[in-house]
Structure 1
Amino acid sequence: MTRMEGLFIGVYRIGEWVARLAYINFLWMMCTIIGLGLFGFFPATAASFAVFRKWFLDEDKDFYIGKTYWGYFKENLKTANILGYMLLLIGLFLYFDLRFFQTAISHPIFSLISAVFLVLIFLFFIVLLIIFPIFVHYDFKMKDYLKYSLILIIGHPFHTAKVLLSFIVVYLIYSHIPILFFMFGSSILFGVLMWVSCLAFPKEEITVEKVGQN
């Protein structure tokens, strides 16, 4: 292979990934709208992670993105919404409890409780970053997704640090180059989080998967 051929192949692959990221973002927006926002956001998010997982772990990279995405969206419409709204309720509970103790009468015990809730909210934020990669990777009972997320966060601090660093890097990139956000939206973040999570999942458990044979 000549240097020029290698350059063309490299440019082609970059263009291919740019198109894929833009297409997944388009599918995510369309499926969110189809679900009227309230019922489409979480299944669309799960479907995005599922497509990225398939790219990173399957030997066959040349699958139909739209067909795979739509199939996963329909198949997990109910379960993804249950998981998503369970997380929403937990988040609201933590937020309003924190606000209550922060605005309560000044007392050392209330300050301590507020600090505890701040730690819990921080842990919950990390859970939000990794729970959908876990959801599309494993076939657990609903309550076990949250439990495994916490096990992964506490038991693998190096992975937790990589997840947070990934989020920060993507956030900074979007902040300094806003046009990338309008082009790719959430797809870059979803792809990075799925890739980091795949590196952390035990190799012997990769066979336990939820991604359908689309």
Structure 2
Amino acid sequence: MEMRGMMGGFYKISEWIMRLSVTNVLWLLTSFPFWFLFITPFISQPAEGDAEGTLISAVIMMAIAAPFTLFPATSAMFSVARKWVLGDVDVPLFKTFFRNYKQNYVQAMIGGVFYALLFAILIIDFQVYLKQISGFQILAYLFIALMLLLLISMLHFFSLLSHFHMKTVQLFKNALILTIGRPFRSLAMAIGAVVVIAISMRFTFLLPFFFGSIIAVYTFFNFNIVIQKMMLMKEQAEAAAEESESEEEKEPVGEGNNSQG
């Protein structure tokens, strides 16, 4: 019997808290080596002179670990989020997560190598231009803009990977097209992700349970809106083309009947 009223509302909220938290914990556990390397520089507290070298070393190690841990785990999390957004809210979490983790592992790993390498280069260049090259500090902020574009492209990549069966090159290409071709929706995705991260950093108890899964749901929700609009435009264009072709086919017949008359 379905619960109604206030109790039904509390029950639905508790269900969503469970779904989001379980998925987020699975994501963190399957990508644990990456997050361990991420928090190590903050825990070790290196000497002031060694701080920059420690940061660069940590970035390199995270770039190596990310393709094999973080990216397959994130791909699996987006696959669960896709089910929720498309209406299948009662999908089995463990089965769906690990099935898609296995199915998309290779493509997610290849995508991870590509994105991790670019992120590592941009982060290191940002540090170099900001602190070591005098007179060119303004260029450091260009790398921030490039990292933002790369982040948006990466979010599109995960959404595409969870939603379509494509070759890896097509995933990269379409992620870039969506990033540039839908700038306002893409910017909204990035802002939403940054807001969730900022809130989670402010209220750190959210980090283990919600921040990754909420970003995945929000990202795929926006991605699905874009895809639905593009499919509708395609159907309208095809319908208009078919109507135009049918009118062109009818015209010669009409002319022939008139000439006979």
Q: Same fold (TM over 0.5)?
A: yes
Paired residues in the alignment total: 199
Which amino acid in structure 1 is aligned with residue 96 of structure 2? T
Change (3 A) 1:138 1:97: same
Q: Aligned AA for 1:43? A: P
1:54 to 83, 88, 103: 83
Amino acid at match of 2:81: F
Does the aligned pair in 1 maintain the 2:104–2:161 contact within 8 Å?
no
TM-score, length of structure 2 as denominator length? 0.65
Greater RCO, CA 8 A, separation 6+: 1
SS in 1 for 2:162: helix
Alignment of 1:18-29 (within 5 A): 18-29=17-28
Q: Which one has the bigger helix percentage?
A: 2
Paired residue type of 1:175: M
Give the superposed CA RMSD: 3.0
Contact in 1 for aligned 2:21/2:209 (Cα 8 Å): yes
Give unpaired runs (5+ residues) of structure 1: 207-214
Q: Distance in 2 between matches of 1:118 and 1:169?
A: 17
* SS of alignment partner, residue 143 of structure 1: helix
Which region of structure 1 is more displaced relative to structure 2, 163-172 or 110-119?
A: 110-119
Trace 1:119-198 onto structure 2 (pairs within 5 A): 119-198=145-224
Per the TM alignment, residue 89 of structure 1 is displaced from its structure 2 partner at its CA by 1.1
CA distance in 2 between counterparts of 1:138 and 1:126 reads 18
Q: State the secondary structure of the residue aligned to 2:31.
A: helix
Amino acid at match of 1:186: G
Contact 2:197 / 2:211 at 8 angstroms: preserved in 1? no
Q: Map of 1:69-80 to 2, 5 A cutoff?
A: 69-80=97-108
Identity %: 31
CA distance 1:72–1:113, change in 2 (3 Å): same
CA drift at 1:46 = 0.4
How high is the TM-score relative to the length of structure 1? 0.78
TM-fit CA distance, 1:139 = 2.1
Provide the C-alpha distance between the structure 2 equivalents of 1:169 and 1:62, rounded to a whole number of angstroms: 27
Which amino acid in structure 1 is aligned with residue 207 of structure 2?
F
Counterpart of 2:74 in structure 1 is 45
Partners of 2:201 and 2:32 lie apart in 1 by 25
